[in-house]
Amino acid sequence: MRKPMHPILKSYIAVVDGIAKTFGKNCEVVLHDFSKMDRSIIAIVNGHVTGRSIGGPLHESLLKNVLDNNIKEDKINYTGKSAEGRVLKSSTMFIKDEKEEIIGCICINFDLSELIVSKRVIDDLIQTQTVKMEQDVEESTNKVNDVLTEIVKKTLEKSGKPVAYMSKDEKVIIVKNLDYQGAFLIKGAIDYVAKVLCVSRYTIYNYLDEIRVDNK
């Protein structure tokens, strides 16, 4: 027999809908029921942000914390990325019953991607002429992963567009710029760049083949 929804959780369904309507289509709001971890989503609005729907499970990292009883407090305004590379600002607020036991949570995931693009346009419009001193500073470090991360980060920042909004050609340009900087000489670069661009490692190899054929 199907277990009825806890009345406290049921009362939050209207809250989920209200928050989503207040902040618009880029705001995903999810209500989770911890009594059924494998299909914990009992209400969701704007699920297109992360591609989830009713009956879906908890996010893997949150599920681990719940199962390990490692929940200490609400998590507010943390950042992350969706599977499509959308930049998210998120908050998770836990719901307790009359015995102060956690029975579920509300998760808010706000897609910042469009705002990031707009911010860069605005920054360009309002900037004034300043003397910019560019210095090539080489730091002696053995942390090659940090070097790779910094190269990729700066290359993406120069593109001025979140990964979720990039076309295939724009991703090829990113890979071309990284290749020019020698990023792929660093061990693990293929897998790291594939993860950042939300493509497979084989796609990165195809991009590199395409770039090197064009350069011949």
Q: Could you give the CA distance from residue 46 to residue 215 in angstroms, rounded to a whole number? A: 44
Count of domains forming the chain: 2
- 198 and 102 assigned to the same domain: no
- 72 and 171 assigned to the same domain: no
In a domain, 130, yes or no: no
In a domain, 134, yes or no: no
Q: Which of 67, 99, 114 is the last residue of a domain?
A: 114
pLDDT at residue 186, rounded to an integer: 87
Report pLDDT digits (tens) over 67-82: 667 677 888 998 888 8
In a domain, 97, yes or no: yes
Q: Could you give the CA distance from residue 152 to residue 196 in angstroms, rounded to a whole number? A: 9
- 105 and 149 assigned to the same domain: no
pLDDT at residue 20, rounded to an integer: 96
- 96 and 11 assigned to the same domain: yes
Domain of 45, in residue numbers: 7-114
The CATH number of the domain holding residue 65 is 3.30.450.20
pLDDT at residue 68, rounded to an integer: 64
Tokens encoding 110: 């706000």
pLDDT at residue 91, rounded to an integer: 93
- 11 and 54 assigned to the same domain: yes
Single out the residue of 211, 204, 174 nearest to residue 188, CA to CA. Answer: 204
Q: What is the CA radius of gyration of the chain?
A: 22
In a domain, 77, yes or no: yes
Q: Could you give the CA distance from residue 113 to residue 48 in angstroms, rounded to a whole number? A: 14
- 108 and 12 assigned to the same domain: yes
Report pLDDT digits (tens) over 162-196: 888 889 999 999 999 999 888 888 888 999 999 99
Q: Could you give the CA distance from residue 142 to residue 146 in angstroms, rounded to a whole number? A: 9
- Rounded to 10 degrees, the C-alpha dihedral 174/180/182/184 comes to 40
DSSP 4: P
In a domain, 95, yes or no: yes
- The segments of the chain whose pLDDT lies below 70 read 1-2, 63, 65-68, 70, 128-144, 214-216
pLDDT at residue 19, rounded to an integer: 96
- DSSP SS3 for 71: coil
Q: What is the DSSP string of 77-131?
A: EEEEE-TT--EEEEEEEEEE-TTS-EEEEEEEEEE-HHHHHHHHHHHHHH-----
In a domain, 121, yes or no: no
Q: Could you give the CA distance from residue 23 to residue 67 in angstroms, rounded to a whole number? A: 31
pLDDT at residue 142, rounded to an integer: 42
- 22 and 108 assigned to the same domain: yes
- 109 and 161 assigned to the same domain: no
Asked if residues 40 and 32 have their Cβ atoms less than 8 Å apart, the reply is yes
- 110 and 149 assigned to the same domain: no
pLDDT at residue 41, rounded to an integer: 94
In a domain, 124, yes or no: no
Single out the residue of 161, 186, 185, 187 nearest to residue 174, CA to CA. Answer: 161
- 11 and 90 assigned to the same domain: yes
Tokens encoding 136: 């090539």
- 11 and 98 assigned to the same domain: yes
In a domain, 132, yes or no: no
| pTM reported for the whole predicted model | 0.61
- 110 and 148 assigned to the same domain: no
